[in-house]
Every structure is written in C-alpha cells, then in structure tokens.
Amino acid sequence: MRIILAGTGSAVGKTTIATGIMKALSEKYNVQPFKVGPDYIDPSYHTLATNNTSRNLDSFFMKKGQIRDSYLKAMQDKDIAVIEGVRGLYEGIDPINDIGSTASVAKALKAPVILIINSRSLVKSAAALVLGFKSLDPEINIAGVILNKVKNKAHYEKTKKSIEEITKTEVIGGIIRDDNISIEQRHLGLVPARERETSIKFIDIWSKTIQESIDLDRLVEIAKTAPKINSELIPIWNKTNKNPVKISVAYDEVFNFYYKENIEALEANNAKIEYFSPLNDENLPDCDALYIGGGYPELFSKELSSNTQMLKDIKKFHEESKPIFAECGGLMYLMNSIHDDKVVDVYPYKAVLTDKVQALKYTVAEVLKDNIISKKGDIFHGHEFHYSKVIVNDLKNDLAFKITRGKGSYNNMDGFMEKNTLASYVHTHVAAMPDFAGNFTTSAYELRD
C-alpha cells in the first residue's frame, strides 16, 4: 500500500498534514514515511511520528529503477508507505520535464496521489485547480483531495460538492484553519523535530486533528489500489572497500542533516559507525575518519566555541592527515570562526550568516582534483541550501569541485581541501555519487595509523 500527499504549491500544509496522517495511521499500521526531494527537516517529523526512519526519493539523484529499489528496500516488513511531496505536484528543476518533481516519483512508483489544496476563499475555483492538475498529465492518478484551511463546515461542504460534481474526484477530508497545527519557521525552512522538546506534543495534536478531519479508512483504500511494482536491481551505491574501518559521525542538536542511505552505504563498505556530539561531548572518539554533516552551527556558535577540547581534538585529527568530510554546516564548523566565535580552524576563513539566502537549488559538480570521496573527472549531482557564506579574501588552496549548476562556496567552485580534509556547501546523496562510501572508507583505511 502506498499513497503520495502532494500540494498544489508550497505552504499548503503538506508537512503538518502528512505527519499527522503518518502518526494517526501508526496506531494501526507499521508506516514507512518518505519525502520527495532534498530535505532533512520534514523527514525528522516523519521519523518521530512513525518510529521508522523517513527516506528521501528524488529523481534528480536517482534513476527510476533506483527510486523503486530504494522504496522496496525500505518497505520490507512495513504495511503502508506515506510519501510527502515537495512544493507543487509538478514542480521540478525544469518548466517542462518531471526531473526532481513529486510527479516523477508518482510515475516511478505508480502511486495514487492525494492533492492538498489551500482552500482559503476558494469554492468553485478549487474545482478548477483539480481539473487543471488532473488534465496536465493523465499518467498521474489524482485519486483524492484534502482541503486545508477551510473556514467552517459550510465552506467545506460547498467546496467538496463543487470538486466532486465537476471533477469526479472525491474529497476525503477538510481541515479548519487553526494556528495550533502550524510549524515554526526558520531560515532553512521548518525547525527540525529533534530540536523541539515539544515535538511529540505537536505531532499528537496534528494526529488528533487529522483523525477528526480526514477519512483515513478511505485514504487506506486508495493506497491499496497502487499496483505491485518489481525491483529492477539497480543499487544506489557501490561496494568497493573490504577493509574494516571506524567512522565517527557528528550527530546532535547542531549537526543532524544526513541521508540515511549515505550512512548505510558506509556500513556496506565495512565502516563501523559511531555517533558523537561536537556540542556536548568533551573528546573525539577513537576512529579512522570523521563525517560532519549539515545543520545549524550558526545558532550554536558560542556553545561550539566553548567546547575547546573537542575543537582541539578535531584540529589534531586533521593535522595528523586523517580524513574528514564535512557538508554545509560541517564546513562552517571547520572554518576559523562562525561570526566571531572561534571554531576548529582547519581553514583560515570566516563563516557568517546573511539576511538573504545564498543558495537554494540542485547542483551539478565536476571533480577537478582527487580527494577522499571522489576522483578527478567524476561528475555528480547534489544540492545546496544555505543562508551563510564563507568570506575568502585570499584563497590558500585550489578547490576540488567546479560547480556547473548552482553557486558553490567561492567563484562557482566548492570543496575546500587541506591535507585530507574536504569541506563543501554541496550536500551529497550516495545515489548521485555511488562511489562516495567506497572512496571514503578506502581513504579511512589507507590513512589510518
């Protein structure tokens, strides 16, 4: 069973509705959550709601067969998949094709779609929206509609009647406008669930609202109409390292933006993963390599700066030429300062938060120099999303990546290199860099003491 929850656009309430549905269904079913597109924050809510790790499905990173294989792998021993879309149903990287869109995932998985509409001040016009979305691509099975932000029961009934009679598409629920079912915003989107002490309380509120507002039995019936799909046996990573290594992964309130598949790929390449907290732990664990992902170090710069022993340990690890790979927030942490707070100081540059978004898009990168995760000549897809920037007045070393789509860190380049430390604003998914884990674990083995 599977269902995709797609919006007519951004800010229609997809995340609160999807998370509420996941939580409500989890009372009866073993729910596997998914998120379309490059997103770390929405999946954090899904994971809390279901106690199953939410997975990303993305046609910019994955081939059609990889989307299916990733889906089927995650669905082992699960009852139903609830897949939250990204932006509007048809939004991708191109105004014509489907790449990067929710529609592309719906096609790959042959999944029925529930369309979520912000129905504020809409009645018959809501029917026009549904007609347009259905007619644009007949291959997409829009099997139902959820109306969000309805004024009252009368508004809901009128809009429901209009949609069902004009478009022959059933409306399976409507949600009254209520500030209690909104999520706090931050400069990178929604606040990550693991950072909110009251996350479970909010998810419970959303679940209760969903149970009162949506016909969940009918949603499950629609999910059951999805046809069987078969694996095409297209792996999303390569297994090339046979030597055991230990990799420490930064994971806490600050650093928590990781794709689960990246970690699994490292494990498949004989890495033993140990998590540590740059914020709360005094010492770095004994290991062969470090992986420092994205997050919000700009909001914790003083606390990170005050953990001086951890800063010394990571700097010593770098000076011993052991491999460190850092993405986005991890890159900031390896600079000499964030704002004016001293951090690890691998690179002699300052990271600062800006008022405007610096980069928000899918990226394509060409590798110009061999490094700990990739080889010269490789081309890979990624994404960047940050309000921060690195101030570089005098570049000390050449950068590893030429950014052919996107912005990068400096002059359309990215991948700061110093000894065996590599840091980039580009977030990498192993499906788009299948040798990532093999290269990184091999580097960890070859550079160990």
Residue 377 phi/psi, 5-degree rounding, is: 100, -20
pLDDT in tens, 131-144: 999 999 999 999 99
| Residue ranges in the chain whose pLDDT is less than 70 | 179-198
Given this model, what pLDDT does residue 11 score? 87
Given this model, what pLDDT does residue 182 score? 61
Q: How many separate helices (H) and strands (E) can be counted in the chain?
A: 13, 26
For residue 191, count other CB atoms closer than 10 A to its CB.
17
The amino acid that residue 322 corresponds to is: K
Given this model, what pLDDT does residue 257 score? 94
Is-catalytic flag, 328?
Answer: yes
**Active-site pick, 328, 367, 373, 390:** 328
Given this model, what pLDDT does residue 357 score? 74
Residue 358 phi/psi, 5-degree rounding, is: -90, -30
Given this model, what pLDDT does residue 192 score? 59
Tokens of 313: 């340990």
Given this model, what pLDDT does residue 183 score? 54
**Distance of alpha carbon 355 from the chain centroid:** 23
- To the nearest 10 degrees (0 to 180), the angle between helices 199-213 and 41-50 is 80
This prediction has a pTM of: 0.92
Burial (CB count within 10 angstroms: exposed 0-12, middle 13-18, buried 19+), residue 223 = buried
Q: Measure the CA angle with vertex 55, ends 80 and 328; round to 5°.
A: 160
Closest CA to 428 of 290, 251, 293, 275: 293
Given this model, what pLDDT does residue 187 score? 42
Given this model, what pLDDT does residue 186 score? 44
Given this model, what pLDDT does residue 386 score? 75
Given this model, what pLDDT does residue 188 score? 41
- To the nearest 10 degrees (0 to 180), the angle between helices 14-25 and 216-224 is 90
Pairing of strands 80-88, 416-418: unpaired
